[in-house]
Amino acid sequence: MRLRWWELVVGGVPLLLAVLFIVGGLWFAGIVLFAVVVFAGASRAQILERNVAGSFALAKGWLALARASALLAIYLVLTVLFFIMKHHHWTHDEHGRVAFYASAALAVYVVRDIWRYGNEANDWIDGGAAEERVAEELDALREHGWLVVHNVLRDDGGGNVDHFVSGPTGGYAIETKSGRYRATDRGQAISNAIWAKAKFGQRWVTAVLCVSKEPPAEPFLARHGNSSIWVMSPAQLRPWLLAQSSPQR
């Protein structure tokens, strides 16, 4: 992950102010300003693509978690302010009531986004963990002379191929899902297989969908329009690949 140089410069000034506020005893101002800088940085950060399984998904998850954590810090400050307002009877004054209700509205908005970014982080991190598990299964194929590549960025803007392997029986483009099998996931996997066929100069590339939750008891072939795709669990993947005697169409 990285930020542009001007983003680092722009973010460095308020970050320094936040530290000075905290050192000077202005805790609320310092915490809120620090949280705003973290949120902005996590929103602007660019993820560097690497051929490492789960690297993109995990980076997206940690950035979403950083945004959720920054908003949580702001929410905690608001919560403390509510107690201060109540203790000092701010609601007995018109200006105090305006501040109280404005803070309450902001708290509701912040809680909503904490929940949203928290769920987003969980989904991305689960997806990254699933890709890492599949990578462990596939990396063992190198001992058998297979080519194994992870997290291949497509140069046509179509996202990335989670895993590509090539052996004696041809190539396989593997799409990993941390959840259950869904028919809507088949299209992406087949698209990846078509792209990988041209990218890696393969005669044929088989599309494979690897699901982590409620996987099938045995690998099965699913039809998708004029194409087909194999669906299986991570544990079934390596034995199935080694057992293939000819490319599956």
Q: What is the pLDDT of residue 64?
A: 97
Reported as a pLDDT band with limits 50, 70 and 90, residue 245 is: low
Q: What is the pLDDT of residue 242?
A: 93
The DSSP secondary structure of 122-162, one letter per residue, reads HHHHHHHHHHHHHHHHHHGGGGGT-EEEEEEEPTTSS-EEE
Reported as a pLDDT band with limits 50, 70 and 90, residue 96 is: confident
Residue closest to 192 by CA, chosen among 170, 209, 211, 212? 209
pLDDT digit string, tens, across residues 97-126: 888 888 888 999 999 999 999 999 999 999
Token pair listed for 32:
């809120």
**Architecture of domain 145-243 in CATH?**
3-Layer(aba) Sandwich (3.40)
For residue 70, give every residue at least 6 positions away whose Cβ sits within 8 Å of its Cβ, in sequence order, or none.
Answer: 35, 36, 38, 39, 42
pLDDT digit string, tens, across residues 21-70: 999 999 999 999 999 999 999 999 999 888 899 999 999 999 999 999 99
The CA distance from 249 to 206, in Å, is 7
